Amino acid sequence: MSGHLANQRLKSGLFLACMLTASLGLTACSDIDEMFGTSGTEMAATAPQAPGAQGTAAAGAATAPPTAEAPAAANNALVATITPVTIEQGPDTGTAVNKTIQSLRGQMTGIEGKLAANAQRLADLRNGGAGAAGAYQDAKARITTRLQVGTTKGNPELVSEWNSAQTSLDSLSANINQLSALGTDVASDSSTAHFVLDQISATFNVSGAVDEDHRQLSLLEDETNQTIVLIDRLLGEVSSDVQRQTAYVANERTNLTVLASAIKNGELYGGTPGLPAAVANGTLQLSSAGTPLVVVRFDRPNVDYQQILYASLNQALQARPNASFQVVAVSPTRGNAASVQIAQTTARRHAQEVVRSMTDMGVPASRVTVASSTDPAAAASEVRVFVR
């Protein structure tokens, strides 16, 4: 008995932790929505069907030839292993104890019905999640393919694909919320089953029973224990799905943010594999350890620094995931006071431009600070990015 209770507490704790993670990881990308002019209403209007409808569609396609949605069928096969226990009936002995047994048996029959329904809900949600993930990956692949071969800045076709990808990702977020609600229901059923088990144990000590009553009690106790095992297994699967999908959605939110900026610039960030540790082309310089991570020299119009900035930030965050950055606007000191003032204003404008690029690439604004400085050796305004 104590083993079952401890196991239930452990699984309930895991489930609550998953729900907390989900609630932290489902923040909508409102800044990206605003950039592309996409509202939450539009997202909701194009959302996939409810899980029940998806489950019906999946059931109708059960005899179809194998397709790309095979993973969804595999998930259904896993859920099908959770088969509710049949609660055996027994004769009425006419004793007060038998009346109690009939009541407990009725409660367990109701729990078995909920177990079957919840297992089917999980199958439907898995089907819905697989469909949304597939649609998201398709849209993401079309975007990266077009960016890889080259396209125009802010290509409307890619903006439309991006909106489709975000819609699919929002559907996955909604799927996680429904999984969390399912987990709450399963955890409630588990508590009820444990309560029934305690009542069965207590009924053994009630006087006035016949041998047949104790036989029925023993059988019901075994069936209840088996049911608790199945409920715990279902709860574990739901918790695992919530945790896995929450991590997936959080990661893809970041990828969508990077894609949004890439579409805006018409260029895929990180598209140059094997970027060297130092680049010296007269305008850009990737510094070594102990010096600025990146130095962008604005000595001509339209300096193309996004690729090297993205690669450098990515490398820094891989080494230190919690790193923050300081962006320093450096201006020259040559000329009269008016020229120096103009140079400082220009350097600050360039620094803000670099900060916008960094946030577009997925760096949280809370991790970026801006400062100003002067350098007599500087021939033009520079922006230096330091890791803190």
Pick the more confident residue, 179 or 26: 179
What's the mean pLDDT in 196-207? 94
Between the ranges 17-21, 233-237, 278-282, where is the mean pLDDT highest? 233-237
Q: Walk me through the domains of the chain, giving residue ranges and CATH numbers.
A: 2-265 (no CATH), 284-387 (3.30.1330.60)
**DSSP output for 246-290:** HHHHHHHHHHHHHHHHHHHHTS-TT-STT--S---SSSEEE--TT
The pTM of this model reads: 0.57
With 80 as the cut, is the pLDDT of residue 114 above it?
yes
> What region, left, alpha or beta, does residue 154 occupy, with left being phi > 0 and alpha being psi -120 to 50 degrees?
left
And the tokens for 216? 């029925």
Pick the more confident residue, 370 or 28: 370
pLDDT band at 388, cuts 50/70/90? Answer: confident
Cβ neighbours of residue 39 under 8 Å, at least 6 residues apart?
Answer: 33
Q: Average pLDDT of the chain?
A: 77
With 60 as the cut, is the pLDDT of residue 80 above it?
no
And the tokens for 303? 């300096």
Cβ neighbours of residue 323 under 8 Å, at least 6 residues apart?
Answer: 316, 317, 367, 387, 388
The overall longest dimension of the chain from CA atoms, in Å, is 108
Tokens 């260029």 correspond to what residue?
267
Query: Contact at 8 Å (CB) between 22 and 177?
Result: yes
